[in-house]
Structure 1
Amino acid sequence: MDSNKKYWKGLEELNKSPEFVEKNKHEFAEPIPIEDVLSGDGLLGKTPRRDFLKAVGFGVGAVTLAACQKVPVHKSIPYLIKPEEITPGVANYYASTLEGHAILVKTREGRPIKVEGNPNDVLAKGGLSATAQASVLDLYDVSRVKAPLHEGSEKEWSDLDDLVKLELAKIADSGKKIRLITSTVTSPSTLGVIADFVAAFPTSKHINYDAVSYTGIIQANQNSFGKAVLPHYSFDKADVIVSFGADFLGTWISGEEFTRQYVTNRNDKSLKAKKMSRHIQFETGMSLTGTNADVRIPLKPSEEGVALINLYNAITGTTLPGSKKLESNSTNNAITIAAKELAAAKGKALVVAGSNDVAVQILVNAINGALGSYGTTIDLDNPSNQCQGNDADFAEFINEAKRGEVGAVLFLNANPVYDYFNAKSVTDALAKVPLKISFAANLDETTAVCNVVAPNHHYLESWGDDNAIYGYFTVLQPTINPVYNTRQAEESLLRWSSNPVTSYYTYVTNIWTTGILPLVGVTGTKGWETLLQTGFVKTASAPLTAYTFSRDLNAVAQTIISQSAKQVAGEKDFELHLYQNNAIRDGRHANNPWLQELPDAVSKVTWDNYAAMSLTDLKRLGFQEGDVITLDANGTSIALPVLLQPGQAEGTISVAVGYGRTKGGKVIESGVGKNAFPLYSFRNGTLQNNNVVKISATGDQIILAQTQTHHSYEGRNVVREAKFVEYQKNPFKGSGKDGEHKVYETLWENYDTPTYNWVMAIDLNACTGCGACVVACNAENNIPVVGRDEVRKRREMHWIRIDRYYSFNEKGESITEEKEIDKLEDFNNVSVVHQPMLCQHCDHAPCETVCPVLATVHSSEGLNHMAYNRCVGTRYCANNCPFKVRRFNWFNYWNDSRFENYLQEQHTQLVLNPDVTTRFRGVMEKCSMCVQRIQAGKLQAKMEKRPVKDGDIQVACAQTCSANAIVFGNGNDPNSEVSKALRSERTYYVLEELNVVPGIGYQVKVRNTTESEA
């Protein structure tokens, strides 16, 4: 192991601040609130512990009818199995699609309760993001629009149809324009409906609008190669990856797909073959991708274009006009080294940039062209259909509307009144449009200014399809009848345009049977039914072309230099960098409490956004964490608390967008963060996520609900890592075992596990820290949301957490050649390790020996069980657990209206998994290794009269992981994947010196540093 490194979760832990030391003297944040016990709402409470039936019966008539009503519907077919009807207690699985991924939807008694990735999905091979895992909760959102509205009053669909058709006809006859504004549409059937609508109304036009734009990349490819496309990137084919601000493992284009690709060159199989990709990240704020890089260089937004020019010069040996060195010698050295490595990996190199500036992306194209990346790591012939928003088209719509030329506008999955940088211009323009129609499922900010609301189905109630990348088609089928009186937006468009096909189901089947299925040699009803079982088809890929970049770059370089100069902040100002975090994204998921309570992958803050600053700037300005400052730009300002972020570029501030919404649901309207979209800038024809801001202190302070230092190991070694060059020489480097686990003497007898020994392996080199496993566990195990105030008291209930550790880069680990770094500047040069932490299911479990009522016991299958009915809440077990993975139910979070859990609301409780009891106040809970799934897998094998096979049983966290970082199985089977993983030379056990004999083994983190750096 690397004994010279010191790992820390936050500055308070590193400096042992008095507050941190005092907190960690106590196992719990505060004693049991005795006032509540005395008031009558005590540990036993007023509601029986397992009162699930009562929860289901509380105000759930609409959902019950939706699941069971006998109406003429087109039958959707469960994945692989075709039950005649629902069997109580038996789950059905339906193939569907979300975000372009093929998925499986688990339903119980007609209600969807869990979303899983389809293991055959071309993009992520069964992996799903945190947002996809949480999407099922939105189906049961009681704030959804329950019926069509006109001027705020409910209407019958037939009356609304007559009204809209009449108005559209008048507008068309008058010659005024009709505009249909949507977020990127990747569905072939939806595009067909829109095309038919446009044909029926010749003055209409479809505009793709995305809050977070990729117009710069698309226009750059049009300028460079004559192809206005978003490329399909192949990170698995790249030996050297250099990224400039592109969070490709997180929110950039297709994070789950890129994660799967990226890890294939960095997992155990690759390492054993002595191969590992090299990843260098230049960025402003610490991103999820930056935390996983081998080398990370802080870079201001104003320096990005200049750095790319220098990289191009170093690779090609030319000097573009206006070229100049950056102020930091270490950054200049880093660019030189990156250029050498990229050139050495020609044909297997990839450079990406997160900028939306056309000139910057043209320069990136030139670099990739010089590296021979087109046709290898970049595919323009089988492009991505995602992120097709056009900034210029939407800007022109605003101008048209202001001139009074637009008679009607229709919004589908677009909310520009909230997320456009100049929202006032949008509202002013819409005030001059007579007919404004929204298809929103919730009354969001844009819907609030519309006079017609035609509420759309949730995707789990819908028919449809998707085509996220060229040649990959997925099908969408409903898993429940509509909960409310909603209607699919496509069907509304069909009716309003007097299309001869008024049923959208018929429209979809026509598209597939006549256009898509014949591409793969399938036809007829049988082909359609087979599709509903498999969920997707994949056509042959187009041949790859090695495109040559031949454009003159002199004007491009001058544009970049000019634009960069405008971004440089004055002495008292800061350069602002706006980004999306992995959960809330652009704000469309802001009303989902599972996502709000998911800690940010880097800062571990929940329920808020903040202004991330470097320690140098924090000290210089005399700020402390939580101090509220105002950020002023574009004639607007927002107030946010300051957060110290190691790795933040000096002179910059990073802020997450997607927060600060005002309409759209109970969570949103409770006040969650501030809207940073108004701080975007519009330059060089595109929306860009950086600007120059003035800051000032307000004198206020906010306590952020931050989980990073809620638990401490008191300096014990729990994270281990090694350099790749060392690993190549000694595969046991870092694990500390040199081929042998140390044998400790023990007073305890070992447990027998005669048939099954359920164990887990977690590869720290594969885990990116995205948090999808946390949300998957929430959904599978009925874990409650506790809200901001309870998180502040260290009472979050997550059964699995992702611990994030910083460490200072030592001499030899940094890509720079500087010998000494000022102490404050050390915080700009840190590396990060993510470690999933859950109950270790120890064979010598410390929790079991101290429980006075045998509520926590060991099973003959190696699991540490919890008997909730026995638990009396002494909390001795949590006190004795060295891993701090047990959670105490301070309150009845599911049903107590005093807490902002947002899951007590009527229909929302229908998302509960009936196979897992909901725990009540006063009991301890923790990871059960999804014991309900283990029992179901064993029962299925028994019914089929066979032994359990490896892979039959998947725990929720492992199933959703796109990186395959978590492997679960029977340790008694030497051929199981988990046994093979645990036999890896990199395997170690956290706190194994305590001799608790954990059931979870970790594989050492390996960083690819070169010989010269080591």
Structure 2
Amino acid sequence: MDSNKKYWKGVEELTRTPEFVELNKNEFAEPIPIEDVLEGGGLAGKTPRRDFLKAVGFGVGAVTLAACQRVPVHKSIPYLIKPEEVTPGVANYYVSTYEGSAIMVKTREGRPIKVEGNPNDLLSKGGLSAQAQASVLELYDVNRVQGAVKDGAGVTWSTLDDHVILELAKIVDAGTKIRIVSSTISSPSTLSVIADFIAAYPTAKHVTYDAVSYTGIIQANQNSFGKAVLPHYNFDKADVIVSFGADFLGTWISGEEFTRQYVSKRAAKALEEKKMSRHIQFETGMSLTGTNADVRIALKPSEEGIALVNLYNAISGTTLPGSKALQNKAANNAIAVVAKELVAAKGRSLVVAGSNDVAIQILVNAINGLLGSYGTTIDLDNYSRQYAGNDAELADFVNEVKRGEVGAVFFLNANPVYDFYQGAALAKAIEKVPLRVSFSDTKDETAAICNVIAPNHHYLESWGDDSAIEGYYTVMQPTINPVYDTRQAEQSLLVWSSNAVNNYYNYVRNVWNTRVLPLAGLSGQAGWESVLQTGFIKAADKPAGAYAFSFDLNGVAQKVLSQSAQLATSGDNLELQIYQTSAIRDGKHANNPWLQELPDPVSKVTWDNFAAMSLEDMKRLSLVEGDVVTIDANGYSIALPALLQPGQAAGTVSVAVGYGRTSGGLVIEGGVGKNAFPFYSLRNGTFQTTTVAKVGKTGDNIQLAQTQTHHSIEGRNIVRETSLAEFVKNPAHAVGHHEGHKKYDLFWQEHERPNYDWVMAIDLNACTGCGACVVACNAENNIPVVGRDEVRRRREMHWIRIDRYYTFNEKGEGITEETEIAKLEDISNVSVVHQPMLCQHCDHAPCETVCPVLATVHSSEGLNHMAYNRCVGTRYCANNCPFKVRRFNWFNYWNDSRFDNYLNNPHTQLVLNPDVTTRSRGVMEKCSMCIQRIQAGKLKAKVEKRPVRDGEIKMACEQTCSAGAIIFGNRNDPNSAVSKALKSERTYYVLEEFNVEAGIGYQAKVRNTFELEA
């Protein structure tokens, strides 16, 4: 442990701003809302009668009955005949697929309430993203289009079908074009339906695009190898990983899969053997992947191309024309070291870039070709189908529409009016198309200008399939009958094209019987039923081909360097980088409040996007955090609050897409951020995410809903970190136990745990900070959303949070508690540690001794329990908790009319887990260690007359973690995975000097760093 390092959550904590100091003087940072207490009738509050009836009346009956009958529901009635598969109080699980990953869907009384990863999934081995965890909430969204719509009015499906078929006949007679515009579709059955539709209407064409495009990589592979595919990357086969702006642990291609691969070379098993891969990240803004890198170099977009040219030269020993050194000395030094590292790991190295520019990606291909990466860390044969969009095709479609050549357009899982960079102009052009059909299940920006809306099922109501990777096929099956009067888009296309197979379920069966099942040696009903139980099949991998790079690199280098020169800025201009956040991504799920309230892994901002800037630029423009700035580029302007981001490259500003939507639900329409997609530009045939922007000050200031310093640990040493070199020499260096630490057991009654001692181990080397566990915990434990204003007041309710700590890569001389931000010179060279923090279930729990009503007590199995009906809301326990992990319910969030935009509606509450009590106003709550899962596991073992097996009970946070960073189990079993993890040389306990005897052990962070010359 490096005792010279200073860890801090935010600049306000580092510099001890007056506001930060003042808030931390108080016993509680958030004040008691006297006016709300008086209005609500005391801390116990009251549930409005109307909202209560909505929650338990017709809304509940409608969705529950959807699970067992298909007729329209007009009355709320109990079961007359109980469905065979539904047993009250017992969960059912169905396999399905989400974005190509095999999943399991938990249902209770016929309603889906939780999505889990399939542990046999080949991509993430049971891990799931925050988006997948939150997707079940969208099933119950009252903002969904609840039936067929024509010209703004609801119609029957037969009426809609007649209208569309008649209009298509007119278009065929006129000889005008028909276009199906969609995001990437990797479902073999859906693609087959579209092909059949095109065969029925020969002027039709399928146009595929992705809001966040990978056309640059696909086209570069076409140019380099004659194979237009998105590769399947194998980070688990790489000893040295170099990334230029690719957030591969977060939003780049397949984050959950890559996380699993990446961690396999860096966490428990690898460190037991005293080895790990090395990861170097060059990037503009601090990304999730950048926070996990061993070495991170801040690099402007204009420097990226030059750095890649220099890296190629250093590896190949040649000099491409126009090459020059960077003014960025740290980057120059790093390139020289990185080149040696890559060459030494030839065949076991990988270079990736996040740019969508074809020339940049060709250069990356050339580098990987020199390193022998193809066939090892890069697979072009068993390629990815996840992003197949073609930017040029979308541009051609836009021109066709503007020229009036399109007679009908169908939008499937696509919203170009919002996410196309010239969306406003496109909207005006589309309105002139005679037949405009959207399959969107919400009235999004594109659906709003369509004269026909044929709302698609939610995926949990659908039959279907997917194939995210060549040779890997997953099946989708409905877990509930349609909640509303919707219909699958594929079914609509079958009807409108008069397909001989007019039922989509039968169509899927035909595709699998003839094309998919034989790949695994299966057939017929038995084969189909087998797939419905396993969830997927995997065909044999194709053997790796021989790929020799072939392209004119001289011309590529000149183009790269020319583009770099165009991005270079001066004066008040900054280089603008557009990126995705881990939660909101491209904005498709922006109406999901669970995702909106998930703190960004780096900035910890919720409910907004912002302008991330460096300290140097903030000082130059005389800005403080929250100052609203205008960003002007490409003829478009928005105003956003500025955020001081450690690690941001000087001379740049980063803005996230996915925000600023105007239609599609109550959350969206409440106003969440600004749209950054119009900053895109079409250059060299692809959509580019970097440009030059002018940044100006408006004089306004907005407080961001940022959680980073809400729960200050007051400078206490709770993070343990070391380098691999030090760890190999002295494993105890990572832990650094306090000398002379004593246990004072005389003051505490020891707890007997005869059967089970439930504990947890968390590996800081595995945790990437993605936050999927936070959303999984929300879904499992009925944790409410509180909204932007309440987050600003420090009232977020998450039971598990991911603390993000910065530290200087140098010793940080001159940084003291009295340092003012005006005197702070540089915070660009920082590293980050992520630490999941939840109730530590202490044996000597400080909360238990101060509760006057015994609402919080210790169990005989090592857990700290909460009896909600005893709690009177004194908050003494929260004040006495050194980990700041207890949450106070300020409002009855699930039923209070003030929270209508988030979760308070008759259908959304159907996502509630009936095994977990929803807490009322004035109650203290915190992590229960998913006690309902523990009890269910014990009961199952008891019925089967056996002890609980290790790994049989998994926490919600543990189950969703693709990195396997969290292990739960019984410490009384010496052979359990958690017992073995806690015996690791890297294990330590947070604040163990406080004698709280925490039940959660952490494994210290280890980085495989190297020194750069000054």
Q: TM-score range by the shorter chain?
A: over 0.9
Q: Does 1:192 align with 2:192?
A: yes
Q: Deviations over 1:936-982 (max 9, x none)?
A: 00000011111000011000000000000000000111000000000
Asked if the contact 1:382/1:470 (under 8 Å) is kept, the reply is yes
Deviation at 1:40, TM superposition (A): 5.0
Note closer, same or farther for the CA distance 1:741–1:262 as it changes in structure 2 (3 Å cut): farther
**CA–CA distance in 2 between the matches of 1:763 and 1:31?**
35
**CA–CA distance in 1 between the matches of 2:138 and 2:747?**
51
Asked if the contact 2:48/2:896 (under 8 Å) is kept, the reply is no
Asked if the contact 1:732/1:739 (under 8 Å) is kept, the reply is no
Q: Does 1:872 align with 2:882?
A: no
Question: For 1:953, what is the secondary structure of its paired residue?
Answer: coil
Which residue of the partner structure matches residue 972 of structure 1? 972
**CA–CA distance in 1 between the matches of 2:981 and 2:614?**
39
Question: For 1:581, what is the secondary structure of its paired residue?
Answer: coil
Which residue of the partner structure matches residue 702 of structure 2? 702
Question: For 2:581, what is the secondary structure of its paired residue?
Answer: coil
Deviation at 1:52, TM superposition (A): 8.3
Question: For 1:733, what is the secondary structure of its paired residue?
Answer: helix
Note closer, same or farther for the CA distance 1:565–1:135 as it changes in structure 2 (3 Å cut): same
Which residue of the partner structure matches residue 464 of structure 2? 464
Question: For 1:468, what is the secondary structure of its paired residue?
Answer: strand
Asked if the contact 1:616/1:824 (under 8 Å) is kept, the reply is no
Question: For 2:167, what is the secondary structure of its paired residue?
Answer: helix
Deviation at 1:434, TM superposition (A): 1.0
Which residue of the partner structure matches residue 12 of structure 1? 12
Asked if the contact 1:398/1:425 (under 8 Å) is kept, the reply is no
Deviation at 1:39, TM superposition (A): 3.5
Count of residue pairs the alignment pairs up: 996
Which residue of the partner structure matches residue 409 of structure 1? 409
Which residue of the partner structure matches residue 762 of structure 2? 762
Question: For 1:186, what is the secondary structure of its paired residue?
Answer: coil
Q: Deviations over 1:151-203 (max 9, x none)?
A: 00111101100110111111012110100000000000000000000111101
Deviation at 1:564, TM superposition (A): 1.2
Deviation at 1:71, TM superposition (A): 6.1
Asked if the contact 2:245/2:281 (under 8 Å) is kept, the reply is yes
Deviation at 1:298, TM superposition (A): 0.4
Which residue of the partner structure matches residue 817 of structure 2? none
Which residue of the partner structure matches residue 330 of structure 1? 330
Asked if the contact 1:894/1:901 (under 8 Å) is kept, the reply is no
| Mapping for residues 787-866 of structure 1, pairs under 5 Å | 787-810=787-810, 826-866=826-866
Question: For 1:68, what is the secondary structure of its paired residue?
Answer: coil
Asked if the contact 1:725/1:1011 (under 8 Å) is kept, the reply is no
| Mapping for residues 541-560 of structure 1, pairs under 5 Å | 541-560=541-560
What letter corresponds to residue 656 of structure 1 in structure 2?
Answer: A
Deviation at 1:742, TM superposition (A): 5.6
Question: For 2:775, what is the secondary structure of its paired residue?
Answer: helix
Deviation at 1:279, TM superposition (A): 0.2
Q: Deviations over 1:447-489 (max 9, x none)?
A: 1111000000000000000000011100000000000000000
Which residue of the partner structure matches residue 816 of structure 1? none
Asked if the contact 2:48/2:895 (under 8 Å) is kept, the reply is no
What letter corresponds to residue 38 of structure 2 in structure 1?
Answer: L
Deviation at 1:740, TM superposition (A): 11
Which residue of the partner structure matches residue 86 of structure 1? 86
What letter corresponds to residue 874 of structure 1 in structure 2?
Answer: T
Which residue of the partner structure matches residue 628 of structure 2? 628
**CA–CA distance in 1 between the matches of 2:826 and 2:972?**
46
Which is further off, 764-773 or 712-721? 712-721
Q: Does 1:994 align with 2:994?
A: yes
Asked if the contact 2:933/2:953 (under 8 Å) is kept, the reply is yes
Asked if the contact 2:68/2:83 (under 8 Å) is kept, the reply is no
Note closer, same or farther for the CA distance 1:502–1:7 as it changes in structure 2 (3 Å cut): same
Q: Deviations over 1:257-296 (max 9, x none)?
A: 0000000000111011121000000000000000000000
Deviation at 1:812, TM superposition (A): 12
TM-score under structure 1 length normalisation = 0.96
**CA–CA distance in 2 between the matches of 1:43 and 1:744?**
37
Note closer, same or farther for the CA distance 1:713–1:52 as it changes in structure 2 (3 Å cut): same
Which residue of the partner structure matches residue 180 of structure 1? 180
Asked if the contact 1:847/1:880 (under 8 Å) is kept, the reply is yes
Q: Deviations over 1:335-383 (max 9, x none)?
A: 1111110011000000000000000000000000000000000000100
Gaps of 5+ in 1: 73-81, 814-821
Which residue of the partner structure matches residue 151 of structure 1? 151
Q: Deviations over 1:408-454 (max 9, x none)?
A: 00000000000111113312321331111000000000011110000
What letter corresponds to residue 340 of structure 1 in structure 2?
Answer: K
**CA–CA distance in 2 between the matches of 1:739 and 1:749?**
25
Asked if the contact 1:418/1:445 (under 8 Å) is kept, the reply is yes
Question: For 1:671, what is the secondary structure of its paired residue?
Answer: coil
What letter corresponds to residue 614 of structure 1 in structure 2?
Answer: S
Deviation at 1:63, TM superposition (A): 1.4
Q: Deviations over 1:122-148 (max 9, x none)?
A: 000000000100000000000000011
Question: For 2:907, what is the secondary structure of its paired residue?
Answer: helix
Asked if the contact 2:70/2:481 (under 8 Å) is kept, the reply is no
Q: Does 1:377 align with 2:377?
A: yes
Which residue of the partner structure matches residue 224 of structure 2? 224
Question: For 2:147, what is the secondary structure of its paired residue?
Answer: coil
Which residue of the partner structure matches residue 679 of structure 2? 679
Asked if the contact 2:137/2:908 (under 8 Å) is kept, the reply is yes
Q: Does 1:500 align with 2:500?
A: yes
Deviation at 1:739, TM superposition (A): 12
**CA–CA distance in 2 between the matches of 1:85 and 1:60?**
19
Q: Deviations over 1:506-550 (max 9, x none)?
A: 000010011100111111101101110110001100001241213
Which residue of the partner structure matches residue 949 of structure 1? 949
TM-score under structure 2 length normalisation = 0.96
Q: Deviations over 1:739-770 (max 9, x none)?
A: 99864565112211111000000000000000
Deviation at 1:229, TM superposition (A): 0.1
Q: Deviations over 1:982-1010 (max 9, x none)?
A: 00000000000000000000000000023
**CA–CA distance in 1 between the matches of 2:634 and 2:16?**
41
**CA–CA distance in 1 between the matches of 2:884 and 2:60?**
38
**CA–CA distance in 2 between the matches of 1:742 and 1:727?**
25
Q: Does 1:98 align with 2:98?
A: yes
**CA–CA distance in 2 between the matches of 1:54 and 1:496?**
38
Asked if the contact 2:5/2:812 (under 8 Å) is kept, the reply is no
Which is further off, 657-666 or 689-698? 689-698
Which residue of the partner structure matches residue 263 of structure 1? 263
| Mapping for residues 609-758 of structure 1, pairs under 5 Å | 609-737=609-737, 743-744=743-744, 746-758=746-758
Q: Deviations over 1:192-232 (max 9, x none)?
A: 00000011110110011111100000000000000000000
Note closer, same or farther for the CA distance 1:771–1:493 as it changes in structure 2 (3 Å cut): same
What letter corresponds to residue 711 of structure 1 in structure 2?
Answer: H
Question: For 1:249, what is the secondary structure of its paired residue?
Answer: coil
**CA–CA distance in 2 between the matches of 1:140 and 1:54?**
14
What letter corresponds to residue 148 of structure 2 in structure 1?
Answer: P
**CA–CA distance in 2 between the matches of 1:746 and 1:290?**
47
**CA–CA distance in 1 between the matches of 2:585 and 2:301?**
20
**CA–CA distance in 1 between the matches of 2:140 and 2:38?**
35
Q: Deviations over 1:633-682 (max 9, x none)?
A: 11110000000000000000000100000000000000000000011122
Question: For 1:247, what is the secondary structure of its paired residue?
Answer: coil
Which is further off, 170-179 or 277-286? 170-179
Asked if the contact 1:746/1:995 (under 8 Å) is kept, the reply is no
Which residue of the partner structure matches residue 431 of structure 2? 431
**CA–CA distance in 2 between the matches of 1:260 and 1:183?**
26
What letter corresponds to residue 178 of structure 1 in structure 2?
Answer: I
Note closer, same or farther for the CA distance 1:739–1:724 as it changes in structure 2 (3 Å cut): farther
Asked if the contact 2:54/2:906 (under 8 Å) is kept, the reply is no
| Mapping for residues 224-623 of structure 1, pairs under 5 Å | 224-623=224-623
**CA–CA distance in 1 between the matches of 2:900 and 2:146?**
23
Which residue of the partner structure matches residue 28 of structure 2? 28
* Percent of aligned positions that are identical: 76
Which residue of the partner structure matches residue 169 of structure 1? 169
Which residue of the partner structure matches residue 818 of structure 1? none
Asked if the contact 2:260/2:962 (under 8 Å) is kept, the reply is yes
Asked if the contact 2:890/2:921 (under 8 Å) is kept, the reply is yes
CA RMSD of superposed structures (Å): 1.9
What letter corresponds to residue 94 of structure 1 in structure 2?
Answer: Y
Asked if the contact 1:184/1:386 (under 8 Å) is kept, the reply is yes
